Amino acid sequence: MKSKLGFSLLILLSLAVGSCGRQGLGLSLGTQAPRLATKTLADVGGDLSRMTTYRQPDPRMYQYSLDQALATGKPILLEFATPGHCSVCDRQLQITKAMLDKYQPNVLFLHMDQYENPEAFKTYRVMGDPWTFVIDAHGIVRYQEAGPMLYQEMDAAIQAVLPHPHQASLP
């Protein structure tokens, strides 16, 4: 009886949080990131409004399909955020853009908006947003966060997947 009540309460809390909350299952850390074709800016004729509901989109986040990005052998920060209905997502994308400025071209940054890439949300088991995934150069999910991140948290997650100078010189 107690576990049924706890489960029911968990479901009610999840529903109450709404689309902008910390819901969903995500992926297991250490697993291969799912490859799937997602929309790119080229697919929509360069029209950013057909890629995102973000008010200040950065075209660099829409250059690669997710499967193309995974094939590059570069680390990826994959941001699931739908700012058209989530003010927290808007702030999250501002932080993501700051990271893009800091780490490009060593890291690829992709933004998935629920309205434009719903299959990515389903494949990555994301319900609610924002969600952040950091994928290493081998396509392995090394970090995920359901909900907003601070600048320092995102920076540390990216640093963890970058090759370190001393590692590059080892045989």
* Burial class, 16, CB count within 10 angstroms (exposed 0-12 / middle 13-18 / buried 19+): exposed
Per-residue pLDDT at 48 exceeds 90: yes
What single letter denotes the amino acid at residue 147?
G
What single letter denotes the amino acid at residue 152?
Q
Segment 72-117, tens digit of pLDDT: 999 999 999 999 888 999 999 999 999 999 999 999 999 999 999 9
Q: Which domains does the chain have, with CATH numbers?
A: 26-163 (3.40.30.10)
Segment 58-77, tens digit of pLDDT: 999 999 999 999 999 999 99
Q: Quickly count: other Cβ atoms within 10 Å of residue 38's Cβ.
A: 21
Tokens representing 64 are 């690669």
Q: How many CA atoms lie within 13 A of 158 on its CB side?
A: 27
